[in-house]
Amino acid sequence: MYHRAVSRVPAVDQAGLLAGIVSQADVPSIFSRADEEIRREVTDRVIRPGLQMHPERLRLSVRDGIVTLSGRPETDQAGQDIIEAVWHIEGVVAVRDELDPADEDNRHHTATPGNASR
């Protein structure tokens, strides 16, 4: 469920007929982790060692298991990697990606006159 960002799954009976929908809210024991614990793990296990990025480069908040990331990662790929890794932290029920694009000045310097997009 984490990898595919699935928050709800159908529940079927023995005949294969829809019996209901199970959501993350229906399984609170899996997602009952303190926000500060989640924040600390994202900072200590994802941002610092995994991506060699100083945590002050990004702003991170956690409320009710919802992680919001904003700021500017060093590269767009680093931003995508952070979002993906955060989904795998126990207790995370959603990730809000409010990251800015990576250094746009570098993009302008690498564009050639024939392919400049701006």
Angstrom distance (rounded) from CA 117 to CA 73: 21
Domain assignment present for residue 14? The answer is no
Cβ pair 82, 69 in contact under 8 A: yes
| Domain carrying residue 87 | 28-110
pLDDT one-digit tens code per residue, 37-64: 999 999 888 887 766 666 667 899 999 8
Domain assignment present for residue 11? The answer is no
Domain assignment present for residue 63? The answer is yes
Domain assignment present for residue 87? The answer is yes
Domain assignment present for residue 117? The answer is no
Between residues 26 and 102, the one the model is more confident about? 102
Dihedral sign for Cα 26, 31, 34, 39, please: negative
| Structure confidence at residue 27 (pLDDT) | 65
| Structure confidence at residue 36 (pLDDT) | 95
Angstrom distance (rounded) from CA 60 to CA 108: 28
Domain assignment present for residue 42? The answer is yes
| Structure confidence at residue 107 (pLDDT) | 45
Give the count of domains, the chain.
Answer: 1
Cβ pair 34, 49 in contact under 8 A: no
* CATH value at residue 91: 3.30.1340.30
pLDDT one-digit tens code per residue, 3-42: 567 778 888 998 999 999 888 766 665 557 899 999 999 9
Residue with tokens 């990662």: 73
Per cent of the chain over pLDDT 90 is 32
pTM comes to 0.61
Residue 104 confidence (pLDDT) above 70: no
Backbone angles phi, psi at 115, to 5 degrees: -125, 15
Domain assignment present for residue 33? The answer is yes
Partners of 23 in the beta sheet? 8
